[in-house]
Amino acid sequence: MGGQAVNESLATPSAVTVGAGAPISLARAWMWLGVLALIGSGLLAVLLVLSRTPGIQDVFPLKDLFRAALVVHVDLSVAVWFMAFAALVWSAIGGGGLTWLAWSGFALAALGTALMSVSPFFPGAEPVLNNYIPVLQQPLFFASLWLFGLGLALTVVRALITTWPLRWAGEPLRLGAFLAALAAFLALAAFCWSWALVPRIEETVYFEVLFWGGGHTLQFQHCLLMVVAWLWMAAHLGQPSPVSGRALSVFFGLAALPLLAVPAIYLLVPAGSYEHMDLFARLMIWGHPYMAPLIVLAALLLWRVRKVPAAPAKSAFVASFVLFALGGVLGYLIQGVNVVIPAHYHGSTVGVTLAFMGLAYVLLPQLGFARAEGRLALWQPYVYGAGQLIHVVGLAWSGGYGVQRKVAGAEQMLISLPQKIGMGMMGLGGLIAVIGGLMFVLVCLRAMSRRQRT
């Protein structure tokens, strides 16, 4: 394949190939960055699980390391992995042109990721466990965030230009990618707006407020790209969308409609105020239901692929939909500050991660790599998904018995048997999920180290 794109477009919902003229080498680079971020995140995940598992937590005093590891783990597995894969999709779906801008963005993002990965080993890495983008209060870490953010800004600007659908009704997947890029642009603007206007107050509160608006906005980007991945995988499995391109474009437009509230909130109420944070929380409650038509369509496609022969993309589609649906349900069951919150968070984000993993399997040969084949690739989404399912159920169970979030070791106050059972499930599921994540990395590395067989 070399550096040439597959000469087939994404003009219909049934298309499953990289767009003509797409910069294949750029897409490959983002694939590598995403996989490397997952490797780093997975290594840290082992420490996180051990630090909260009954029995083990008493043998190995990992409480202090837990918080520093959690910061980098979350940033690598969510911020870097999600945004790297988003850039991969934009590169694959979008046309050519402005490659100098794209490579500049990638270089800055890669440098930021490298600095972020080593920052905990330098002095002064004081963790702040705020939501969305937790931070280490350290100049090197902040430099890594600025570099990564600047790289993403360049990437998003190019994505808005190159993924603009020329025929809105005839290019629904391209429209979905474009709307996701629009969400990313609004999220970056929200981060900058908050940084300029929010007064510097107590550190935990400051960073919570700083990333609140942009973090909520990014959820729309992730969800839109997740649906793009679902549709792409279903079409790859021989089950294209049963609705017309026009109807599917309307569904994507409806799902992105709540994004109009983002600039309105910043214009109408002061950034960082209680009203500001409350409105973004309500945006999640009222905004995500606009995705209902896309979710129903995905459920229909999931039913249709049940008889399709076993394939890595099928495994990922099934596991992704189940975890995302569970996370969505748990989001409406949150009461108080307990581990039901990370149960919801893990279910939803893992649903997105599994969708990206499945699409990665589809894209590997289209980017010139070898195919993801064998039992390891076939079972990886199920192992990862099952581990995360046990992990999420354990957290939700424990949250019902009052176990608090963002604590580890003895601070968890695991007194009753139900609390210990729930957190034990969390630990077991987490370890299984780590194995599933390692399987994904191995499958990708094996495929990416070989050229596509002709």
Distance CA 60, CA 38 (A): 25
Cβ neighbour number for residue 345 with a 10 Å cutoff: 22
pLDDT at position 399 is 56
Q: What is the CATH number of the domain that holds 116?
A: 1.20.120
Q: What is the pLDDT of residue 21?
A: 63
Q: Is residue 170 part of a domain?
A: no
Structural domains in the chain (count): 1
* Pairwise CA distance, residues 211 & 367, whole Å: 34
The CA distance from 232 to 161, in Å, is: 22
Q: Residue-wise over 140-151: b if at least 16 C-beta within 10 A, else e?
A: bbeebbebbbbb
- Residue position matching structure tokens 């629904």: 172
Q: Does residue 66 fall inside a structural domain? A: yes
Domain membership of residue 233 (yes or no) is: no
The answer to whether residue 25 sits within a structural domain is yes
Q: Two tokens at 321?
A: 């939909």
- Interacting residues of 110 by C-beta distance below 8 A, sequence separation 6+: 29, 33, 151
Q: Which helix (H) or strand (E) holds 49?
A: helix 24-50
The segments of the chain whose pLDDT lies below 70 read: 1-17, 19-22, 45-66, 167-170, 331-342, 397-423, 451-454
Give me the pLDDT at residue 152, please.
Answer: 96
Return all residues near 58 (Cβ < 8 A) that are at least 6 apart.
409, 410
User: Of the candidates 76, 79, 69, which has an alpha carbon nearest to the alpha carbon of residue 127?
Assistant: 69
pTM of the model: 0.87
* 448 within domain boundaries: no
Q: Is residue 154 part of a domain?
A: yes
* Residue range of the domain that includes 108: 19-163
Domain assignment of residue 294, yes or no: no
Is residue 111 a part of any domain in this protein? Answer: yes
> What integer pLDDT is reported at residue 20 of this predicted model?
59
Pairwise CA distance, residues 103 & 186, whole Å: 22
Specify the pLDDT at position 171.
81
Phi, psi of 137 (to 5 degrees): -75, 85
Neighbour tally for 58: CB within 10 Å: 10
pLDDT (tens digit per residue) in 400-417: 545 544 444 444 444 555
